[in-house]
Amino acid sequence: MPVIVVANPKGGVGKSTVATNLAGALARAGRAVMLGDVDRQQSARQWLALRPPMLPPIRTWDVAPGGVVRPPKGVTHVVLDTPAGLHEKKLGSVLAIADRVLVPLQPSLFDIQATHAFVQELREHKPKMKIAVVGNRVKETTVSAEHLRQFLGTLDVPVLAMLRDTQLYVQLAARGATLWDVAPSRAERDLAQWQPVLAWAA
């Protein structure tokens, strides 16, 4: 059972957006997926509460005080959303059950610096961990996007995608939905960007 942790110690990089859409894609593909949340803000749980019952189901768990509980029986894939500032003991407890870590970041100097240090920290905690990076909210023609590409070229981890900056994610999140819950023609460009992420997560 793949356990995919979406993590970056920097806040505001779009971890919940990536986690919910990844879970939605797996659910649409017929997987029995669980979306867990160890963020105090409980963004993923709040999103699940908005999810219409006619959409492919996504299960969840409760966060026990001081630790992470196990996924429910029958689940084939786990996606785990995490808080900003994930370090030391809490990071260790999450990585103890993780198979892989997906690290989203935005094209900003602060995100780049935090991500570089975090990838090194992941390597120290679990040297054989499968790690990948995804650029998030990227405006293709900007200087910041070019800086992000240059930085990602220095990391010894795969860069799966550069997800574009679009309000579609915001609109869908407000309804508990994902790119895979609307007509493909509405999200054609975004769905194509996600394909390498889904191949890595499978």
CATH number at residue 24: 3.40.50.300
Q: Are the C-beta atoms of residues 103 and 18 closer than 8 Å to each other?
A: no
**Measured distance CA(74)–CA(77) in Å, rounded:** 9
Confidence of residue 112 (pLDDT cuts 50, 70, 90): confident
Q: What is the pLDDT of residue 149?
A: 84
Model confidence at 104: pLDDT above 80: yes
Helices (H), ranges, the chain: 15-28, 43-50, 88-95, 109-125, 143-152, 168-173, 188-201
Domain that holds residue 32: 3-201
Give the count of domains, the chain: 1
Model confidence at 66: pLDDT above 90: no
